[in-house]
Chains A and B, each alone.
Chain A
Amino acid sequence: MNRLTWKSLRRHGLLLVLSLFMIYPVVWWISASFKSNEEMSSPGLIPIKATINNFIEGWHAVPGFSFTHFYANTFLLIAGVLFTTLISCSLVAFGFSRLDFPLRSFWFSIVLMTVMLPNQITLVPQYAMFNDFGWVNTYLPFIVPHSMAGGIGGAFFIFLLVQFIRGIPSELDEAAKIDGCSWFGIYFRIIMPLLKAPLVTVAIYCFLWNWDDFLGHLIYINDVDKYTVGLALRMMIDTSSTAPWGQLFAMSLVSVLPAVLIFFFAQRHIVEGVATSGLKG
């Protein structure tokens, strides 16, 4: 018994050191956003003179705009992307997992291949296309591809949902079919209600990845008026000759808050999503 507790103690020690090592920069970051600039290089975790000025000044650091505006922009973009992704990906996943049509296997293997395709390859022509459409500086280059089960993670979401739908017993649809239910009826009335859990996973990933899609935002959004939070943060670094670190930390801390909240309230879904198919991030 003694040996056992000694062993678990040792293991706790090891894990504790590791966890501290991992989380120290994050905790320091939180405390730094309450520090004054003189204190910024101190490794201490408790600010000597705590102040919330960083948050107040940082919020209005971009001339002419407050971060409220950038958050509204980002949420608007993501709301559009999220809504269209959930509908299109579930429709397509239903088609692949429940319907029988020629070349189904072929198309599905193409879906999986596009998961691995580096986006650099389509970057230039897509930009040229959206430029021709007059969509640069709008959110359409993000929303329209997502409404066609594409965009960031689209193929991955189809795959995730297909995996899940395959696990639903097909007796349910058979019964509905005998009762005269159409395919769309089966999708909408039988499968969709059962897809709540995986759709939450899809929504979470869609949110997180689009929130962090810096390259996409950088390319397509030029007006400060339409900037997302990530772009605004980058602007704060670039416009000032001496970076106001306190404000930067405060604002970047707020910018990861949505992700953190999601993480704590839906941890199970995140882990499940990664474990089912484990792509990205």
Chain B
Amino acid sequence: MGKQINSAYSLPADHPPDAAGSRKLKAGRRWESPLAGYLFISPWLLGFFLFTFWPMIQSAYFSFTEYSLLEAPKWIGLDNFNKILNEDRLFYKSLGVTLWFVFISVPLKLMTALLVAVLLNRKLRGMHIYRTLIYFPSLVGTSVAIAILWSNMLGTDGFVNKLLSYAGIEGKSWIGSPDTALGTLILLAMWQFGASMVIFLAGLKQISGELYEAASVDGASRIRQFRTITIPLLSPVILFNLVLQTIAAFQMFTQAFVITKGGPINSTYMFALYLYEKAFGRLEMGYASAMAWILLLIIGAVTALIFFSSRYWVFYATDGGKSK
């Protein structure tokens, strides 16, 4: 799986990266089908320039302007960034909320996904039923429907409180209290670990059973096997999941918008929510663009940090098992 991911994220298999690089230097290289090639990818190429590249340049420009959509953008230099970084307390609040959400929900979600995947990676009768039941909540993950369910379940009159009252615990509106509202969103994210779990399962299937047999012959306990065989061999998949989930968590919107609307007292005011409010609520498009670039920088930095740290904890089986 690790190898697969590596090659998948580089280039088509028949064109290894260095070959492509050195070929460019050779003059007079004949392309087999240059025109047809560009013709086939032209829909994407056109779409990329029109809907990604050009908007990115515009967004960069807007971030230095005051722009309400109704009038032409007015250049104001670094004012937006100045205001965001020096005056906007809501910006820091929403950034803090988002960072809490990311740093708590992502590790918890991945740990759950990994443990459950290990549990499901056994031959047992009826396993596919368990797998279906456990995956099910992830199926309709970010829909409004799930958000509705959640906001009732954990509200004052929700059934969770009723259950707690049987146990003698006095409930409250978990969604309406500033100190637990973010927790309910994290819980929701955790409940939907299915996609990561499926990827872990695919990775686990690649680990040869012989390794475990050899380890148990040597007397290694289950926990030790998990720590010294499963985790290292699965680390490329863990990295993959970690990056994807982190990027997704930074952009969390629908649940916060529907369940808590950012409240109470802004305790769930996610960054994406604030950005939406600025752009489409108050039509401060320039300001929102500047915020989007800051978000991109933060996501980029966190992702880079993960990749950088991966040198120390991701293990590639192609090293011949010597890197540890």
Contacts and interface: CB of A to CB of B under 8 A. Distances in A.
A99 B40 contact: yes
Interface stretch (B83-91, B116-124, B226-234, B308-316): B116-124
B265 interface: no
Contacts of A245: 152
A122 B199 CA distance: 29
Contact of A19 (B34, B134, B145, B285): B134
Contact of B136 (A22, A278, A280): A22
B145 A256 contact: yes
B198 A275 contact: yes
Interface string A76-101: 00000000000010011011110111
B247 A92 contact: no
B114 to A, nearest CB: 14
A48 interface: no
Contacts of B39: 95
Interface string A135-163: 00000000001011110001000110011
B177 interface: no
B37 A99 contact: yes
Q: How large is the interface on B (under 10, 10 to 19, 20 to 34, 35 or more residues)?
A: 35 or more
B137 A26 contact: yes
Contacts of A149: 43-44, 47
Interface string A101-133: 110110111111010111111111111110100
Interface string A241-272: 00101001100110110011001000100010
Interface in B283-320: 285, 288-289, 292-293, 295-296, 299, 303
A279 B244 contact: yes
B190 to A, nearest CB: 11
A70 B36 CA distance: 42
A105 B17 contact: yes
A43 B198 contact: no
Interface string B181-199: 0000000000100011011
Given A92-B41, A96-B12, A158-B44, A214 B124 contact: no
Interface residues of A, number: 98
Contacts of B247: 116, 118
Interface string A209-253: 001101100110000000000100110010000010100110011
A94 B40 contact: yes
B170 interface: no
Given A43-B159, A281-B142, A150 B292 contact: no
Contacts of B275: 120, 123
Interface stretch (A6-14, A59-67, A194-202): A6-14
A183 interface: yes
A88 B51 CA distance: 15
B15 interface: yes
A107 B53 CA distance: 13
A120 B292 contact: yes
A230 B141 contact: no
Contacts of B38: 95, 101
Contact of B293 (A121, A126, A274): A121
B142 A131 contact: no
Given A124-B279, A278-B241, A40 B157 contact: yes
B196 to A, nearest CB: 8
Given A121-B56, A212-B143, A255-B145, 12 more contacts: A41-B161, A43-B163, A97-B12, A102-B34, A118-B292, A118-B295, A124-B285, A128-B67, A131-B69, A148-B44, A278-B244, A281-B195
Which 6 interchain pairs have the tightest Cβ spacing? A148-B47, A101-B37, A95-B40, A252-B145, A125-B55, A99-B37
19 contacts: A15-B120, A22-B133, A40-B152, A43-B162, A43-B163, A101-B36, A108-B11, A116-B243, A116-B247, A121-B59, A122-B52, A123-B292, A127-B279, A212-B254, A214-B143, A215-B253, A219-B280, A252-B144, A274-B202
Interface of A: 8, 11-12, 14-16, 18-19, 22-23, 25-26, 28-29, 32, 40-43, 88, 91-92, 94-97, 99-102, 104-105, 107-112, 114, 116-129, 131, 145, 147-150, 154, 158-159, 162-163, 166, 183, 187, 208, 211-212, 214-215, 218-219, 230, 233-234, 237, 243, 245, 248-249, 252-253, 255-256, 259-260, 263, 267, 271, 274-275, 277-281
